Every structure is written in C-alpha cells, then in structure tokens.
Amino acid sequence: MRIADIIDTPLALQQACHEWQHESIFAMDTEFIRRNTYYSIFSLLQIRVNNTIYIVDLTRLKDFTPLHQLCIHHSSLLIMHACREDLHLFHNHLGAIPQKLFDTQIGAAFLGQGAHVSYRDLVRTLAGIELEKSQTLSNWLQRPLTAKQRQYVVDDVRYLHDIYERQCEVLKEKGRLLWCYEEYARLRELVQSRDKKWLYNKIRRYRMDEQSLVILSRLYLWREQKAQKRNMPRQWVLSDQALATIAREKPATRATLMSKVCRIKSSYSHELLDLVHREISQQEQATLWQIIPLSERSMEILEKMFQKVKVLASIMDISPHLLASRHDCEWLLRLYGAGQHQEINNHLRGWRYDTLHEPFWSLMSA
C-alpha cells in the first residue's frame, strides 16, 4: 500500500481531486476535535483510492471547493464506517453530503453482527489484525503529526475496501444489499433536514405540566441557537438542569430567575423571561402531542410494539435497534394518535415497510 505525501496546500488538493475525478470508489475517514465548540473542528480527511492512501490536512486549507465537488459526484461510491458524525462534518464544512455511500457498520448490522460494531472488530474478524487504537482521543490539531497518529489515520481506511467487498458478497446472497443503501439515504435525509426528534426525545424525559413542557421546548431551541451562534457547547450556555428548573419554576422577575439559576449571563435574563411568559401559540398547541406524556393505555401499546420488534429482529437475525428503537416506536404511536398516517408510511418506507407496517398498524389501531 502506497502512502502519499500529506496534502496541505490548495494546489496539491486541486491536483489530487483532478486525478480522482474519474475514480468510481473511495474509502474515507475523518479526524476532528469537538471539545470546546458547538461545531466540530475538521482536522484530517483520509482517502484511499485504489492502492494509495492520501491524508488531507484541512487545518492548512481554507477553500474546500474541490472536496465539495467530490462529495456531490453522483457516479462515485464512498465507503465509510459509522458515518453519521462524518456527514455532519461534510454538511457543515464542505457544504455537501455524499450522494452515494456504503457504511460498513450498517452492512455489519444487516449481517447480524450488532447495530454498533466497531471498525476495529471488523478488521479483527476479516484479517485477524489487532489495530492500535491508542490515538482515538489524540489531539488532532497538533502539528506535525506523530508517527503513531499517521499510522492510525492510515489504518482507518486501509481495510475499508476489503470489508466492503466481503460484506457486499454476503449481503447480495441474503438479498439485503439494497437495504444498506436505503438506510444510508434515510440517514442522509435526517442530517439534511436537521430533524428535531432529538429535542422531543429529551423533553419527554421530564414529568411536567403542559405549559412547562412548552416552555422547556422553547428553552432548548433558544439554547441551540445560542450555542450555534457563539460556537460553544450547549452546556456552556445553560445546563439541562437549569433549563428544566426555569421551565418548572416559571420565575416572574429577573431577580427570581437569577436566584433559581446561579450561573447565567445577565444579558440572557430578558430573553429567558420572555420565553417563560409568552402565551402558548396555536402552532405550539398543535404540536403538544409530540411532548406530552403518553397515557397508560398508550404505554401498554408501546411496550407491545417494542416486544414485536424484538421478535421480528430475532427472526431476521439483526439488532432490534436497527429495525426500530423504542424512540422510533413511540414516535410512530404518537403520529398515529395525531392522525398523521401518511407520516407513518413515510417513516416505514423501504425495507422496514414489509416487516413492520402490518403488525404495527394492528397494534396501534387496537
């Protein structure tokens, strides 16, 4: 395997992307840092093309246009492992998400190896090689890279082609190869749409009255916007506990607010009080079904749905989480209760539809 010189100049990147434009398949991985920021700092991009591995040092580059073009190329296939975080990186820094991608973690999941199997485990199974992972939490912003760091990033793409080829062979035999691409398309859509179900999943953990839940959803969205604008971790704006306290206590004055939440910027107080005491809008009223606690009867149905998932997943020899998580089941049940039946069909499209639509519909309609 040839290891090319590090690409760290605009000219070198442009030349490399020009050479790659007619290639049909790439293996990719990324290294990034996300400790004191909201957005990850994109440090390195590793690319294997045929039998050559390239390392692109993104800390030395400002114009990522050539990589943007590579991402949106319809005829090229990218191979990655556990690509969700990488897609966010591409979306935020390159302004594009790959059109066609095969995720070897998804491939492994459809082969019954668990929903979250590691790249290291796949390499061990495939090649009998134990990869060195001591650099996982390394400082990827330091320069020059150490010899161990370079070896680590090279190894992260060295075996992806081989894993892909082996998985494709078995997936074709099982009739599940198309499922992998459907699953990636679903993931790609979630990243592009900036889906807010994560927000409702967080809020539903709290036992509060309806007004408090609406206030809490406002506070979470407000914090998200502040964290994005200032590029800082969410908890640095206000902690989850602080948001819950404000929503539950509903302080009436700035003094009361400051006494309830000690560590708060004074400039935030007027905004927070406005969020607390603003009347519930028609739009908020119309979306209450997403966050209010389920009834006892609905909880019984939810449990039956997830038990059905476990049975069906066992028959298919896949992880229940891949078929449908408990959050997925709850979301579908809430959609049914809200009369949004077409959204249920959209959520279950593709390979899941034939497996889950009929049993889920039967349980929910009961």
Q: What is d(CA 277, CA 275) in angstroms, rounded to the nearest whole number?
A: 6
pLDDT of residue 207: 87
Write down how long the chain is: 366
pLDDT of residue 283: 92
CB-CB neighbours of 306 under 10 Å: 16
Nearest partner of 183 among 70, 118, 105, 117, judged by Cα: 105
Which pLDDT band, with edges at 50, 70 and 90, does 195 fall under? low
Residue 266 pLDDT more than 90?
A: no
Q: What is the pLDDT of residues 319-330, one digit of tens each?
A: 999 999 999 999
pLDDT of residue 302: 97
Which pLDDT band, with edges at 50, 70 and 90, does 203 fall under? confident
Nearest partner of 332 among 353, 316, 351, judged by Cα: 353
Instruction: Supply the pTM of this predicted model.
Output: 0.92
Residue with tokens 């028609």: 282
Which residue type, as a one-letter code, is found at position 28? M
Residue with tokens 């073009």: 69
pLDDT of residue 193: 79
Q: Which CATH number fits domain 2-193: 3.40.50.970, 1.10.10.10, 3.30.1450.10, 3.30.420.10?
A: 3.30.420.10
pLDDT of residue 171: 98
Q: What angle do CA 116, 315, 115 make, to 5 degrees?
A: 5
Residue 262 pLDDT more than 80?
A: no
Least confident of 42-46, 68-72, 166-170, 248-252: 68-72
Residue with tokens 């296939």: 77
Tokens representing residue 151 in the block: 């070896």
Which pLDDT band, with edges at 50, 70 and 90, does 148 fall under? very high
Percent of the chain with pLDDT over 70: 98
Tokens representing residue 93 in the block: 């820094």
pLDDT of residue 205: 80
Residue 202 pLDDT more than 90?
A: no
Residue 7 DSSP symbol:
B
**Alpha-carbon torsion angle 117, 121, 122, 127, nearest 10:** -170
Nearest partner of 126 among 104, 159, 156, judged by Cα: 159
Q: What is d(CA 240, CA 267) in angstroms, rounded to the nearest whole number?
A: 19
Least confident of 91-95, 197-201, 266-270: 197-201
CATH architecture of 197-290: Orthogonal Bundle (1.10)
- What is the pLDDT averaged over residues 330-348? 93
Tokens representing residue 156 in the block: 């992260």
Residue 177 pLDDT more than 80?
A: yes
Residue with tokens 């990034």: 32
- What is the pLDDT averaged over residues 106-114? 95
Asked if the domains 2-193 and 197-290 are classified in one and the same CATH topology, the answer is: no
**N-term to C-term CA, the chain:** 59
Mean residue pLDDT of the chain comes to 93
Is the CA virtual torsion 57, 59, 60, 62 positive or negative? positive
Q: Where are the domains of the chain?
A: 2-193, 197-290, 296-365
Q: What is the pLDDT of residues 47-89, one digit of tens each?
A: 999 999 999 999 999 999 999 988 877 788 999 999 999 999 9
pLDDT of residue 135: 80
pLDDT of residue 196: 67
